[in-house]
Amino acid sequence: MPTSSTSPLTRASIPVTVCLQRRTGPPLYSMFHAPYDGAGGMVPDRRVAGPDQLREFLSNSLHLNQRTGESAVRNLEERGSATIPNVELKSRDLRPLGLA
C-alpha cells in the first residue's frame, strides 16, 4: 500500500519551443509535460527566458544531464523547437515545477 511519502513516476516528453523571439534580450521558451500515459487534455506551460535559464531549469529542476540541455538549446537555436524524450518525474513534483 503506498504511503503519503511516495509518489508515482510519470514518464513523458518535454516539448520546448521558442514562443517569443525578442529584438533585444533573450528569447522566451515555452515547455510542457506531455505524459505517455493518461487521458491527455490541457496542460500548463512553463516559460523561461533565454538559454541559460533553460539549461538551469533542465539541469537543476528536471535533473537532466548537461548534454541533454545543450542538445535542446542547439535544436532551439537551429529549428525553433526541441523535444526531450523519456523524462521521469514524480507526480507530486509536477505542480511545483510549473508543469501541472
Query: Given this model, what pLDDT does residue 5 score?
Result: 57
What is the per-residue pLDDT for 99? 93
pTM recorded for the entire structure: 0.85
What ranges do the domains of the chain cover?
A: 11-87
Given a contact cutoff of 8 angstroms between Cβ atoms, the answer to whether 82 and 31 are in contact is no
pLDDT digits (tens, 9 = 90+) for 25-57: 899 999 999 999 877 788 899 999 999 999 999
Can you give the pLDDT at residue 3? 45
Q: What is the mean pLDDT of residues 45-74?
A: 95
pLDDT at 66: 94
CB neighbour list of residue 67: distance below 8 Å, 6 or more residues apart: none
